[in-house]
Structure 1
Amino acid sequence: MTTTATAFETAPARSKIRVPHFVRGKLVWGEDNEYLSRDFGVPFVTPEIEYNELFVPRTEPGPAFDVPISEIIDFLVETAGHLTLEKNPYLQESLEMTVQVSALPRRIIENTFRRPGQFLTKQALEYRLERTFGSLDVLDGWVENTDPNGSVSRLRAFPPRLVHMLAGNSPSAAMTSIADAALIKAVNVFKMPSADPFTTVAVLRTMADIAPDHPVLKSISAVYWRGGDEKVESVLYRSQYFDKLVAWGGGAAIENAARYAGPGFGLISFDPKVSMSIVGREAFESEETLREVAELAAADATIFNQDACLAARHICVEGDIDQVDRFCALLHERLGVDREFASAVGPKPDADIREAVEGMRYLEPDYRVWGRFDGSGLVVRSPEMVDFHPNFKTVNVIPIAQLRDAASYATVATQTVGVYPPHRKAEIRNHLATAGVQRVVKLGGALRGSMGGPHDGMYPLHRMVNWVVDDDA
């Protein structure tokens, strides 16, 4: 292995992409291991993982444990100022590598690089921490409290030691995960995803150019191994080194991660979710209104070409069959439109969807299908939720008699529900929450969100830290 300051490289004699690691402030190159990317099987090579270099012994505090949170926020804000695609050579190189391995087109990938900037301001970061912890003081030291019985205790949100399985469906996930890890002063190992093993290192290199010896950088390593590789995970996923595994991924990845959870080593899981929309009868008040609602519904259904947990896959519509079919026709038109984070034509549906939908074409009038298998979008109207997983811009529309009936189609795996008209959210949010839903928004607002709110039914940073009490009782 060698350490250099050069960029991501594609070896001239081969088409294998050279992917470096970043280990506690140092860039590490090597071609010891070869892997294939998730979506297209593009080969890339990485250095060998040197395990001893990833660990800060438990006998020593992590490098950032006692760094004031104000200093860390300032560092993140300064970093955000340098994460401009047009000016940052590391992000530019990352983009060129990502377009080779991602199912998303260049235009959408470029747009994802611009997203985190709005969340990495001083005001936004402080607001989020205050919403999560009540006070920033618990991150910097021991906060004294006196209970009603007069007993005194001191509490600290103590920095943890974390392994992160990063999400691979958006480059912005790497940026936000690095910020999260820095805010709680954790010791971190990031497992980079095969769908994007580039952005994490690009961000860390940007930080290193600003302050190469910053304690936050000394607290972070970003490496790659194939998910499920027991030779690696049986070493890393141990309580003697780390407190928790923060895992983003599909069902198989989360199930594998759960095998390692046990006393002293916890799992914080951001497992696969399915989102939906609910359209009230008010959508049919006029043709203009119906068109507007179809556009809002299509915007929610096509986020990252439906490769996102918050992209709607099922839509419950309050109306009779003729009304619902009018909505379906307009929805199908709007699925095939270019948007900031969606393509007019995306990846074509897989064999499972094609087979299921073809069978439904012969089941009219109970079922009806709009669209072709060309990646521009499919709409399937059915009396009940279809038994396949809608994906590749495929939307399942279900007629309902009244809005609260939609709650019967929600489960604990339902993340986001968009509702039209917005004032009717209050009518059904308790029913949805009872079913297990974690987030209710205005139709068309799935990708947007208020700062400082929970994610997947929790405040992630609150879960990641170790809450320690010094009690005089």
Structure 2
Amino acid sequence: MSLTDTGTRIRVPHFVRGRLVWGEDTEYHSRDFGVPFVTPRLRLDELFEPRTVPGPAFDVPVSEIIDLLVETGRHLALDSNPYLQESLEMTARVSPLPRRVIENTYHRPGQFLTRRALEYRLERTFGGLDVLDGWVEHTDPDGNVSRVRAFPPRLVHMLAGNSPSGAMMSIADAALVKAVNVFKMPSADPFTTVAVLRTMADIAPDHPVLRSMSAVYWRGGDAQVEGVLYRSQYFDKLVAWGGGAAIESAAKYVAPGFQLISFDPKVSMAVIGREAFASEETLREVAELAATDATIYNQDACVAPRIIFVEGGIERADRFCALLCERLGMDRQFASAVGPKPPGDVREAVEGMRFLEPDYRIWGGYDGRGLVVRSPEPVDFHPTNKTVNVVPVDAMLDAAAHATVATQTVGVYPAHRKAELRDRLATAGVQRVVKLGSALKGSIGVPHDAMYPLHRMVHWVVDDDA
């Protein structure tokens, strides 16, 4: 069956413990454009079994699960996968991202669904695969013997809607820890998760991993659904991605035995040293690196910097601002030359600053090609939709005073000066420091949001002889 129904509504199936379920019982609307879509009736009792019943994948060797994920990665090729092709068409109807950027995102699974990447990540997180497959014995300095297992959990995943790659990675994570899973699909992309699971079902239709997974949709905050699912009688943890309101709504369900693993809203920034002004050519290169980071998914990504601190005076900052504004309006792999226009509150705030020159200065406009605001302190509005706030500082360390626990990624130029910043940034709460221009890149097996997510997901159990 096809996702499309009529010219105005989209049919969105559920995937329930290995079965594809179609229906048109409930109508919803997408987050950004209000596009209507219909789903089957949500039957909560079908999403899980009692805790007295082990999950289907609890005793499946992790090596076998890696085999399945690697084979799935091979089949997630957009040019030959009909589910991804159909999902692309539907996502393009509901997402503010241009079709070209969504298409490029669908080519990403091959980067992390490889045997080398998956095994390395598990080694970095758990020190080996044995603790996932069984009870690993240890003897402490006093001679006491214990056995520890990273036991498979029961998880509800509240997926993010700003990039299809999030759904793909969440499925891989859920499989690696052998969890019983319910994925709450986002209204901004209720398609990718099921497309990946349908691909897995074609490869191994009765695999225990598939029977451990359900992907369904309900409107976020629906107490009739969440009041049932978000309980320790059925699940151990809620793995939540989302905006502030969504995380706050989810957090109220935290109780003994039911934990929240929160990938809550973050903002990122960049710090540029005086070395950028060594020559006009160098400054242009630095402006390009900064624009590459700032426009990731048209700035609808936590890793995209919204504030850039420039070491030096106003004159240097203004030279950088002019070049940065020019580079914001370029097509890139994960950004478009013309993105969504800045919202009304941003336009209103910026217009008010025009009366404060020369302390404030503005480059660009409100057409979605890019907007740069230079100010003596960080602005009090949230820069978004390719809006960047540039703040001159006397020294790079001064920028650390503006970092908080909500600051995720900090891009630094030149790269060798990361070392003088990272401890101060970490003290402020920053979770990641990178070379300017590489915010979307990342090493395998490193922490995310100040934790090793897989390590948090599992249920650590000890059999102690002491």
Question: TM-score normalised to the size of structure 2?
Answer: 1.00
> How do 1:171-210 and structure 2 match up within 5 A?
171-210=164-203
Q: In structure 2, what residue type is equivalent to 1:7?
A: S
Contact kept? 1:166, 1:192, Cα under 8 Å:
yes
1:235-292 deviation digits (Å, cap 9, x = unpaired): 1111000000000000000000000001010000000000000000000000000000
- SS of 2:405 mapped into structure 1: coil
Q: In the alignment, what sits opposite 1:394? A: 387
Q: In structure 1, what residue type is equivalent to 2:19?
A: K
Q: In the alignment, what sits opposite 1:128? A: 121
Match of 2:5 among 3, 10, 14: 10
Match of 2:57 among 54, 64, 68: 64
- SS of 2:433 mapped into structure 1: strand
Q: Does 1:263 align with 2:269?
A: no
Distance 2:402 2:247 in 1: 24
Q: Does 1:106 align with 2:102?
A: no
Contact kept? 2:184, 2:217, Cα under 8 Å:
yes
In the TM superposition, residue 51 of structure 1 has moved relative to its aligned partner by 1.2
In the TM superposition, residue 116 of structure 1 has moved relative to its aligned partner by 1.9
Q: In the alignment, what sits opposite 1:312? A: 305
Q: In the alignment, what sits opposite 2:322? A: 329
Match of 1:462 among 445, 450, 455: 455
Contact kept? 1:153, 1:471, Cα under 8 Å:
yes
Q: In the alignment, what sits opposite 1:168? A: 161
Q: In the alignment, what sits opposite 2:140? A: 147
- SS of 2:93 mapped into structure 1: helix
Q: In structure 2, what residue type is equivalent to 1:264?
A: G
- SS of 2:119 mapped into structure 1: helix
Q: In structure 1, what residue type is equivalent to 2:18?
A: G
- SS of 2:170 mapped into structure 1: helix
> How do 1:183-332 and structure 2 match up within 5 A?
183-332=176-325
Contact kept? 2:155, 2:179, Cα under 8 Å:
yes
Distance 1:42 1:169 in 2: 16
In the TM superposition, residue 117 of structure 1 has moved relative to its aligned partner by 1.1
Q: In structure 2, what residue type is equivalent to 1:169?
A: N
Q: In the alignment, what sits opposite 1:3? A: none
Q: In the alignment, what sits opposite 1:430? A: 423
Distance 2:42 2:233 in 1: 18
Q: In the alignment, what sits opposite 2:341? A: 348
Percent identity between matched residues is 79
In the TM superposition, residue 9 of structure 1 has moved relative to its aligned partner by 2.2
In the TM superposition, residue 57 of structure 1 has moved relative to its aligned partner by 1.3
Contact kept? 1:336, 1:376, Cα under 8 Å:
yes
- SS of 2:309 mapped into structure 1: strand
- SS of 1:362 mapped into structure 2: helix
Q: In structure 2, what residue type is equivalent to 1:308?
A: A
Q: Structure 2 regions of 5+ residues with no counterpart?
A: none
Distance 1:9 1:162 in 2: 30
Contact kept? 1:65, 1:186, Cα under 8 Å:
yes
Q: Does 1:380 align with 2:373?
A: yes
Distance 2:218 2:447 in 1: 30
Q: In the alignment, what sits opposite 1:367? A: 360
Distance 1:262 1:440 in 2: 33
Contact kept? 1:335, 1:376, Cα under 8 Å:
yes
Contact kept? 1:56, 1:187, Cα under 8 Å:
no
Q: Does 1:83 align with 2:76?
A: yes
1:310-360 deviation digits (Å, cap 9, x = unpaired): 000000000111111000000000000000000000000000000000011
Q: In structure 2, what residue type is equivalent to 1:8?
A: L
Distance 1:409 1:398 in 2: 11
Distance 2:426 2:461 in 1: 31
Match of 1:92 among 85, 96, 109: 85
In the TM superposition, residue 115 of structure 1 has moved relative to its aligned partner by 1.1
Q: In structure 1, what residue type is equivalent to 2:103?
A: E
Distance 1:10 1:414 in 2: 42
Contact kept? 2:2, 2:11, Cα under 8 Å:
no
Distance 1:59 1:183 in 2: 22
Contact kept? 2:240, 2:260, Cα under 8 Å:
yes
RMSD: 0.6
Contact kept? 2:411, 2:433, Cα under 8 Å:
yes
In the TM superposition, residue 105 of structure 1 has moved relative to its aligned partner by 0.5
In the TM superposition, residue 424 of structure 1 has moved relative to its aligned partner by 0.2
1:359-386 deviation digits (Å, cap 9, x = unpaired): 1111111100001100000000000000
Distance 2:45 2:291 in 1: 49
- SS of 1:457 mapped into structure 2: coil
Distance 1:292 1:16 in 2: 46
Contact kept? 1:22, 1:222, Cα under 8 Å:
yes
Q: In the alignment, what sits opposite 2:411? A: 418
Contact kept? 1:36, 1:43, Cα under 8 Å:
yes
Contact kept? 1:7, 1:90, Cα under 8 Å:
no
Alignment size in residue pairs? 466
Q: In structure 1, what residue type is equivalent to 2:42?
A: I
Deviation >6 Å, runs of 4+: none
Distance 1:116 1:443 in 2: 24
